Amino acid sequence: MQKHSFKSWLIATRPWSFPASAMPVVVSVAYLFWRGYEVDWLISVWTLLNVIVFHAAGNTWSDYFDYIKGVDRDDTVGGTSMTSGEFAPREIRSLAIGLLAVAVVSGLLLLCCTGLPVLYFGLAGAVLTLFYPWLKYHALGDVDIFLTYSLLPLLGASYVATGGVRLEVLWLALPIGFITMGILHVNNMRDIEHDKRAGIHTFAMLAGEKVSAVLYCLEMLLPFVWVVAGAVCGVFPIWSVAVLLALKPAVGNSRKAVAFLSAGSKALVGVDEGTAMLQLMFSLLFSVSLVVAALV
């Protein structure tokens, strides 16, 4: 069996996508801090790290199924850990199971330090992760992603950080969730032809190219409208308009989605990574604005 460096194993988990899972936790904790709740920062950081490990397990689990189902092949642009021959499928499967085991053990320890609701959030996340490949192949991947990387981490982070589920964090679900769904959606837009060949059905495929491009643009731009409107209405502090500093890359991503209609899938190469970077920039600006508003 070929030996792999730590860097190779890390790349196989697709770390560029981690903002999708990490940022909901960061923004949720920052929002609750602004709202005046007493935040347990140590538990919050522990939760953040555990969510990232859980995400890495989900990525590798999905890549494994995409490979054995023939979705990822030599000519696809997505995960290349197996299509390139660098990793055997059994290695990626073992990596996924190992990461999931670490996340579960860490989650159980977190449960002991917090309370029973952590078990419910963890079980829901595990089920959505395990069934993600099937849901993706049946046009429900976007729904799974919204639940797994928006609603669950927002509500779960509110519980571990403050000792109670704070429903007001749901104000964050649309801006955080839409950008995260955009990562998957633009990936599936790019792969429409390859997915047809594999015999699966993604939401982007069923919606069609024009509708998919419009939806992606909405996923990129509506979060800015939501946060600015929330700042004006007092749902968020006025400092939150700082997210507009991330508008330029959002518009850039949207233009590439529109170019897809004439230039084809080559226009979308790297846009999924660009969307993840937008999530990182948008969420960090949002989080910093919330913390600054709480301190001034």
DSSP, collapsed to helix, strand or coil, labels residue 228 as helix
Instruction: State how far the Cα of 286 lies from the Cα of 241, in Å rounded to an integer.
Output: 8
Instruction: Give, rounded to a whole angstrom, the gap between the first and last alpha carbons of the chain.
Output: 57
* 81-108 pLDDT tens trace: 888 888 888 999 999 999 989 998 998 9
Q: Is residue 9 assigned to a domain?
A: no
Q: Is residue 276 assigned to a domain?
A: yes
- Longest Cα–Cα distance in the chain: 59
Q: Is residue 253 assigned to a domain?
A: yes
DSSP, collapsed to helix, strand or coil, labels residue 8 as helix
Number of compact structural domains in the chain: 1
* pLDDT band at 77; cut points 50, 70, 90: low
The pTM score is 0.90
Q: Judge whether residue 202 has pLDDT over 80.
A: yes
What pLDDT sits at residue 263? Answer: 92
Q: Is residue 2 assigned to a domain?
A: no
The amino acid occupying position 214 is V
Which residues constitute the domain of residue 21? 14-295
DSSP, collapsed to helix, strand or coil, labels residue 145 as helix
Q: Is residue 120 assigned to a domain?
A: yes
Q: Is residue 7 assigned to a domain?
A: no
Q: Is residue 36 assigned to a domain?
A: yes
What pLDDT sits at residue 75? Answer: 63
What pLDDT sits at residue 251? Answer: 97
Residue with tokens 């390859």: 194
The amino acid occupying position 262 is S
Q: Is residue 118 assigned to a domain?
A: yes
Angstrom CA distances, 91 to 1, 3, 87, 202, stand at 9, 11, 6, 27
CA nearest 71: which of 80, 56, 130?
80
CA 57 to chain centre: 13
